Every structure is written in structure tokens, then in C-alpha cells.
Amino acid sequence: MKLFQISNGVKQFNPENPALFAKERGNGASNEKSFTLVELLVSIFIIILMSGIIFANYRQSGQQFALQRSANKLAQDIRRAQQMAMGAKECAAPPASCPDGVPAGGYGVYINKSQDDRYFIYADSNTAPGKRSYTSGEEIEEIPLEEGVYIKDFIPSSANFSINFMPPDPTVDIKDAAGTDKNNVDIIIALRTDPSKIKTIKVNKAGLILVE
């Protein structure tokens, strides 16, 4: 028995078989529900995918900002050491050997690749006129880089550098690990997760300090 009959070219419900009609409607509802479930799963997948992309971009942006902030902070701290020397700032212990409270050789910043997550402000307290570079024990402040940022390299190459400012001008001394005077130094910091992402802090004997 047919569920539908054709009358005047129009498909109409056949009242002689209502059970078959109900079954057909039930199948249609089931198919409709199945289609809705597929849509829901696709939507959930898209949401998860987009969330992952957004999170990855957010994390990468956060690391880039950390790198930029660390570069700016290092440049700022080098300028701070310069200002401390110009102002003949008295140093407090440690070190305790500053004559009249003012370090003989001024103040400086010491950066070492073997301690690649930090750097130091020091007071050059060696006997006048000072060594005009860092000596172990002269640290007055330890400054950490932001998490995930490290000291990658120097140009010219060296294991470490000290950038010293001797009052009153102040006179700038840039010395490598061998104690050799240099006219300038590029301090390169990078992301541990992507060492190709770098910032460079440039310092020269004229006292110019800039970030690239």
C-alpha cells in the first residue's frame, strides 16, 4: 500500500496507511537530529581550534613583550649607573670599602654569559683611581631578566663585559673579559624558546645607550 497518492499532479498523504506515514516522519526527525549533532561537533571543533590559535598568539606576544621590556630595563639600568657616577652617589655595604662612601672608580654594569638570566650594578671600590671595571664582590644590585629571556651574545665577542662610568664627567670604560678596552659593545638578548627573536642594546664610549 502506498503512503502517498498523486492527485492532479500533487503528492498527498494516503490516509489508508497512517502507520507508514508516522514511520516516515520519525525517520525524518532522526535524520534532522543527527544533522544537528554533526553541526554541534563541528562548532565545538572550530571553537577549540580558534582558542588554541588565540592562546598561541597571546603567548608569543607575551614573550615578545617580555623581550622588549628586558631590553628597555637593561638600557635603563646602564643609564642609572651612569647617573649614579655623575651624581657621586655614596655606596652602601656591600662593598664596604668605598672611601668617603663614594666608589673610587665610579659605578658600572657587569654582564656575563655564564649568568645569562641576570646582570649586576657594581661600585668600583678598588683603590683610587679604581680599576674602572668589575671585580668580584663589588656587586651592589643583582637584576634578573624576565622569565624566558637570556643574554645570548656580545659584539665584539667575549664571555663578559663591564661598562664603567667614572665621575665626574663620567668617563666611560667598556672592557671585555680580558680587560681590553673597547670603543663600543652590542649586548644581544633573546628568547629561550626562539633564539632568533632578539633585541640589541648598544653602548659606546661617548655614553650613547640605545635599544634596537
132 & 195 share domain: yes
Within a domain: 59 = yes
- The terminus-to-terminus CA distance of the chain in angstroms comes to 85
109 & 142 share domain: yes
Within a domain: 6 = no
pLDDT (0 to 100) of residue 62: 82
What cell does 60 get? 608569543
45 & 126 share domain: no
Domain residues for 21? 15-50
pLDDT (0 to 100) of residue 3: 46
Instruction: Report the distance separating Cα 208 and Cα 205, nearest Å.
Output: 7
Distance of CA 106 to the CA centre of its chain: 31
Closest CA to 211 of 196, 199, 197: 199
Q: Residue 139: exposed, middle, or buried by beta-carbon count in 10 A (0-12, 13-18, 19+)?
A: middle
Is the predicted pLDDT of residue 68 greater than 80, yes or no? yes
126 & 152 share domain: yes
List the alpha helices (DSSP H) in 13-153. 18-86
Residues 36-46, mean pLDDT to the nearest whole number: 80
19 & 87 share domain: no
pLDDT tens digits for 100-122? 678 888 999 999 999 999 999 99
Within a domain: 2 = no
Task: Mark which of 33, 50, 67 sits at the end of a domain.
Answer: 50
20 & 57 share domain: no
CATH code at position 114: 3.55.40.10
- Amino acid type, 163: I
Distances in Å between the Cα of 34 and the Cα atoms of 24, 59, 114 are: 15, 38, 62
159 & 82 share domain: yes
119 & 202 share domain: yes
What rounded mean pLDDT belongs to the chain? 83
Give the DSSP H/E element, type plus range, for residue 166.
strand 160-166
Distance of CA 16 to the CA centre of its chain: 77
99 & 31 share domain: no
Within a domain: 10 = no
- Amino acid type, 145: L
40 & 100 share domain: no
With cut-offs at 50, 70 and 90, classify the pLDDT of residue 51. Answer: confident
pLDDT tens digits for 190-203? 999 999 999 999 99
Residues 126-151, mean pLDDT to the nearest whole number: 88
Given a contact cutoff of 8 angstroms between Cβ atoms, the answer to whether 114 and 105 are in contact is no
Total domains, the chain: 2
Residue 41's CB is within 10 A of a number of other CB atoms, namely 10
35 & 104 share domain: no
